[in-house]
Amino acid sequence: MDGNAATREAVAAGDPAVDLALSDLVMPVMGGEALLRAMRARGLTMPVVMLSGHPLEGELAELKAQGLAGWLLKPPDLDDLARLLAQALAGRRG
């Protein structure tokens, strides 16, 4: 799924219906950074976790400013991914 399709799906479901978005940073049509901006511009507040094949050095500050809940290098260790997703969801539930 590309970022445009993911944004449409999230908007259609409604923010309360989507607990978390897990996205790759690099996708066809719309990448993860643009996806995060588009989601926030549409009022979607769910936590977003990104996966990337390269370290997020220059992008990280901007992504965090947009509300990025966390990120991992690909391929992620499944225990690390589970831990990060649990933390992001716990933050949403307050």
Sheet holding 68-73, edge to edge: 21-24, 48-52, 68-73
Instruction: Give the pLDDT score at 57.
Output: 80
Whole-structure pTM value: 0.82
Q: Which are the contacts of 7, defined by CB distance < 8 A and separation ≥ 6?
A: 30, 35, 38, 39, 42
Domain at 18-85, CATH class: alpha beta
Domain ranges of the chain: 18-85
pLDDT digits (tens, 9 = 90+) for 5-21: 766 676 666 656 788 99
Among candidates 24, 83, 27, which has minimal Cα distance to 52? 24
Helix (H, G, I), strand (E, B) or coil at 17: helix
Instruction: Give the pLDDT score at 3.
Output: 64
Helix (H, G, I), strand (E, B) or coil at 54: coil
Instruction: Give the pLDDT score at 54.
Output: 86
pLDDT digits (tens, 9 = 90+) for 17-71: 788 999 998 888 888 888 899 889 888 889 999 999 988 788 888 899 999 999 9
Q: Which residue has the higher pLDDT, 3 or 68?
A: 68
